[in-house]
Structure 1
């Protein structure tokens, strides 16, 4: 379950990068928020809590 969630969050991180046409005027906020979520998920996976 945790691995599937990690893959989904990484795909979301790629999707919100400001290089794509649909997200160009969003700025960096979605990327940084999703990056923090991925970082928290990685820490939870490494500590065995997820």
Structure 2
């Protein structure tokens, strides 16, 4: 259940990080950094659950 919710959040963040708006060029690295952080947390949770 937790992985499904986290997967939905990651997909929404990926769509939100797309530079399709005129003002999104001012965001810098924040959207991709957020996605990277979420993916890192997801990877750690996945690895710890397998151990």
Give the TM-score, by structure 2 length: 0.57
Give the RMSD, CA atoms, in angstroms: 2.3
Aligned residues: 48
* Greater RCO, CA 8 A, separation 6+: 2
Gaps of 5+ in 2: none
Give the TM-score, by structure 1 length: 0.57
Gaps of 5+ in 1: none
Higher helix share: 2
Q: Which has the larger radius of gyration?
A: 2
Please list every run of at least 4 consecutive aligned residues from structure 1 whose deviation after the TM superposition is greater than 4 angstroms.
none
